[in-house]
Amino acid sequence: MKKLLHASYFLVVAWCISLIGISSANATHIQGGQLTYEALGNNRYKVSLTVFRDCGGAAFSSINPELDYRTTGCTGGSSVAMTLVGNPEAGSPYCANTPGGASQCGSGLRTNYQKGTFEVTVTLPPAAEWILSVTLNARPAVANINLGNGDLYYEARLNSLLPGNQIIQNTSAQYQALDIPIPFVCYQQERTVTFSATEPDGDSLVYSLANPLLACNEPNTFRSYTTVGRFIDLTPPNGAPCGAYIVNNQGTYSATYPISSFNVTGACPLKTATPAFNFNAAQGSFTFTPSFYNPAINSAENKYVVVGQVTEYRRFTDAAGKKIYHKVGQVRRDMMMVVIDCNNNNQPTPPVGTGFDKSGVKIVNSRDSTFVTAYTCNYTEVRFRFSDPNPGDILTVSYPELDPPTPTLAKPTYLPSDVATFQLVGNGTKAPAGILRIQPDVLFEGRTYRIPLKIEDNGCPFKGIQFRTIVLKIEKGNFAKVLATSANPVICAGASVALTATPYRPDSVGLRTASYGYRWEAADGLATADLGKQTITVKPTKTTRYKVRILGQDFREGTCSDTASVLVRVGATLTANFSTSSRGDNSGRTNIQARIFTFKNTTANAVAAKDSVRWTYQRLKDGKGNAVNEKETIFSRKFDPAELILREGGQYAIKMSIYSTIAGAQCTTSEKVTMIDVRDIPNMFTPNGDKINDNFVLTADEEGSKIQIFNRWGRLIKEYSNYKGEWDGKDQPAGTYYYLLTGKDGKTTKGWVELAR
């Protein structure tokens, strides 16, 4: 393939568009424009016709347009002459060093345009649809449509009588004077062209591409195209051969594919080219890359007609109370793309917007627009940097505020000053910047504003021009926060916590410091004197939610405020409590003295997995009632302790201490003390049936041992392998008895006990 590309110095690729039937230049060279109208009241409308013509043709003085207006479809109606207003304005797409001068107006010179406006005032009584039109002759030869009789038909529609005999007045969508419908586009450079409009009445706009017209409901037919060879030459000057293989190299132009344009993918030396004309219906713009250029001066093969249509819809409530939209108007802009060879001059780079900390703004930079989402009552600043691939070029940025509005129209509604302002810094330098300062009131929630920009360099002989739309959308915002020591603060009963109302918004915009006010609602533990402070200290007695309004003091009184709240949880107050049970052995008999104790934590609101508990015992008196000085001993830190065995007789203090830990702080400790008595184990037992000391018992650690009991003469009278305190001396006389105890560890112990009757 590389050899094939080299053979013809790459098979220079071009479009060869069949131009059979394209006539030579006619007298007026009508290139495009639009017809719009403005409501003046009492059914009177000022109708404006903006005409763009090739300035190399006849003068505007020879154009005598008549406005046709009718409610009977495409026939009948009335006509009235329109008058030229002011002086025609010449275009300036070329630099002063271009051969023939910057104006390029004259025979044999490059294509240029001249703009003129015609007006007339007419009375249009309410009607389901008025069709307003002007027909002029003649279009110049172009590449994508058949000219027919050569007429160019301008049209606008007004729907002033809606269903239910509802009468309205309407001002049509107004095209931006900044957006010239005769754009000069660079060969093989991507370009975005816009026909977006402002809407003085606040109606909803729908953008679409439409067919060019010869007359009412009579469209021009589109021409077919065929490529020569199967490649587009992408080889840069003095560069290695590189081209793009064309997919679908023949077809017919249409309203949605009106110019030879391709998306190129892949890698050199051979890429793939697919027909592409990218229309953005939301923004009223289209992006394309011209792929054919004829170097002949004023060649028809470099000219393409594109029509952008804007339809207005207004929201109404019908008889049933349902919200519906009705069409109230429609205008069309007839545009002519002129492909030029910009040589080494690249178009300016689309600007990229950036926000800054705490502005809350969202920015999305797409191929044809910059989308900015800002929020009501917020101070927001977005900065745009403009640059050019040709580092020496000077850039000039224009936007509608620099252009005088139509005298009788209200101030342009594309960007109300009480929503935002746009400022250019360093315009006319190599790196100008734009500053969009946004401060929208709640009145503008849900609104969308479009700011069209024109970025133009000073390249020669052809200026590089880039259009960019900043789309600003206003949404409801609430950026207030209340900051405490933790995200969900919990405190001990009786403790305090500091709360700070924080607007998550910028501290300043530009050189102006943002100003905020604070209004707390009265609540438990909040002092009245602190209701207007930013930071408060509260001491709630129970779980309480604290609410605050943060006021943007630079906005209208009472309209802009953020709300925030925080729930301060107060930990439950713990009052220590526990129950006690005891037993003497495992037999369950009540006549065995209690020496094994069990405690159960019954503290209300206590949580075993979270709260801290400590159990202690301290013997205060011995078995005879004498005071003793023994230390307090910790026997458990569990929520419910294991059994406690007390071997020595006496009086004991059992104490449970419990506390909660909240947010790292130890809350107040609660304690409960219970007194228990443990009798000494006597060396005498009295089996008289009173259930008091009726059995011979051992200490707790001796229980379960083997025991042998002998009388005074040494005769074995009782033997137990696992003694549980069962011997009650039955059938034995009073007296002294001896025992041999063999413990679980095999050790033996001797002892005696007295049986008394």
Q: Domain with 423 in it: what CATH number? A: 2.60.40.60
As a whole number of angstroms, the distance between CA 572 and CA 590 comes to 40
In a domain, residue 417? The reply is yes
Top pLDDT among 519 and 557 is at: 519
In a domain, residue 555? The reply is yes
Q: At 2, give phi and psi (nearest 5°).
A: -60, -40
Shared domain check, 645 and 555:
no
Shared domain check, 651 and 706:
no
Among residues 624, 656, 678, the one where a domain terminates is 678
pLDDT value for 120: 98
Structural domain total, the chain: 4
In a domain, residue 636? The reply is yes
Do 138 and 28 touch, CB atoms closer than 8 A?
yes
Can you tell me the mean pLDDT for 645-660?
A: 90
Among residues 477, 499, 527, the one where a domain terminates is 477
In a domain, residue 426? The reply is yes
Shared domain check, 582 and 546:
no
Shared domain check, 751 and 670:
no
Dihedral over alpha carbons 567, 570, 571, 576 (to 10 degrees): -160
Q: What is the DSSP letter of 173?
A: P
Residues 677-686 have pLDDT tens digits of: 887 767 788 8
Shared domain check, 674 and 702:
no
Residue 644 parent element (H or E): strand 644-645
In a domain, residue 732? The reply is yes
Residues 570-580 have pLDDT tens digits of: 988 899 999 99
Can you tell me the mean pLDDT for 518-532?
A: 93
Residues 297-326 have pLDDT tens digits of: 889 999 999 999 999 999 888 777 788 899
Shared domain check, 642 and 590:
yes
Shared domain check, 419 and 348:
yes
Contacts of 502 (CB under 8 A, 6+ apart): 480, 481, 482, 483
Residues 348-392 have pLDDT tens digits of: 988 888 887 666 788 988 777 889 998 887 778 899 999 999 988
Among residues 648, 678, 708, the one where a domain terminates is 678
Residues 163-192 have pLDDT tens digits of: 888 899 999 999 887 788 888 898 888 888
What three-state secondary structure class fits 566?
strand
What is the domain extent for residue 502?
A: 487-564
Residues 453-494 have pLDDT tens digits of: 889 998 887 788 888 888 899 988 766 666 665 566 889 988
pLDDT value for 580: 93
Evaluate if residue 25 carries a pLDDT over 50.
Answer: no
In a domain, residue 338? The reply is no
As a whole number of angstroms, the distance between CA 749 and CA 490 comes to 60
pLDDT value for 21: 34
Shared domain check, 438 and 373:
yes
Can you tell me the mean pLDDT for 561-584?
A: 87
Do 145 and 222 touch, CB atoms closer than 8 A?
yes
- Can you give the CATH number for the domain in which 653 is found? 2.60.40
Is the pTM higher than 0.95? The answer reads no
Residues 252-270 have pLDDT tens digits of: 999 999 999 988 888 888 8
Shared domain check, 710 and 640:
no
Q: Which two three-digit tokens encode residue 88? A: 């025609």
In a domain, residue 51? The reply is no
Shared domain check, 664 and 635:
yes
Residue 32's closest CA among 175, 180, 158?
A: 180
Shared domain check, 427 and 549:
no
Shared domain check, 455 and 364:
yes
Quickly count: other Cβ atoms within 10 Å of residue 13's Cβ: 22
In a domain, residue 214? The reply is no
As a whole number of angstroms, the distance between CA 535 and CA 434 comes to 37
Evaluate if residue 17 carries a pLDDT over 90.
Answer: no
